Amino acid sequence: MTDAAPRLFFAVWPPVGTAAALADWAREARRECGGRATPRERIHLTLAFLGDADPEMARARGAAIRLPGLSLRIEQARYWAHNRIVWAGPLETPAGLQALARELGETRAFAAHVTLIRKARPPGTLPPPPALEWPVTQFTLVNSVLGPEGPDYEVLERYALE
Ligand code: 2AM
């Protein structure tokens, strides 16, 4: 636990095999762009970033969700210059994921992406990402706790989709 202000977010974590395939890809892609690859166990897709929100309000929001599970395809890998990340994700954000993000409190435009490398240089050509179909059956409320070795993720609650 920490006394620091909470940095809350809702996210989905991939099945372990999916995470391993994405982590392997990130290690390979790093040859193209340097930066820091996300360790396998920290790979996730953020649905809504709430920051310094009231944890009880966030828990209530998560518990109120009545939405079906869905399948998320990994179909492309891209570089974003504005925050220097390399990410993988679907060609288009699935409508169900969009709805979930909105109901969880994300107010900004939501583009489904999984950050795999931070502090990356602009790559030439990224290797094609593994074609994956990630079953999204639950989501989590997480607090990002700043530790001596960077942020640590503390899972506060898990919620099932229907
Ligand atoms: P990112 O992967 O695109 O960087 C935990 O920090 C998660 O919340 C990350 O997945 C990160 O998204 C997202 N996040 C962190 N700070 C954020 C901010 N200020 N606004 C939106 N999303 C943020």
Q: For a substitution probing ligand 1, which of 8, 9, 139 has the most ligand atoms within 8 Å of its CB?
A: 9
Q: What is the mean pLDDT of each run of 10 residues along the chain (162 residues)?
A: 81 98 98 96 97 96 98 98 98 98 96 98 97 98 87 95 96
Tokens 């795999």 sit on residue: 116
Tell me the three state secondary structure of residue 73. strand
Whole-number pLDDT of residue 5: 86
pLDDT of residue 1: 53
Q: List the structure tokens of 75.
A: 């179909």
- The pLDDT score that the predictor gives to residue 94 is 97
Per-residue confidence (pLDDT) for residue 126, from 0 to 100 = 97
Q: Which of 7, 8, 43, 46 to mutate to test the pocket of ligand 1 (most atoms within 8 A of CB)?
A: 46
Q: Are 130 and 21 in contact (CB under 8 A)?
A: yes
Instruction: Look at residue 3 in the predicted model and tell me its pLDDT.
Output: 64
To the nearest 10°, the Cα dihedral for 41, 52, 90, 66? Answer: 100
User: Can you give the pTM of this predicted structure?
Assistant: 0.95
Tokens 């890998």: give the residue. Answer: 77
Ligand 1 pocket residues where CB is under 6 Å: 9, 46, 49, 115, 144
Show the domains of the chain with their CATH numbers.
8-160 (3.90.1140.10)
pLDDT at residue 4 in the model: 75
Q: Is the dihedral of CA 146, 150, 156, 162 positive or negative?
A: positive
Using the mean position of ligand 1's atoms as its centre, give its distance from the Cα of residue 49 in Å. Answer: 6
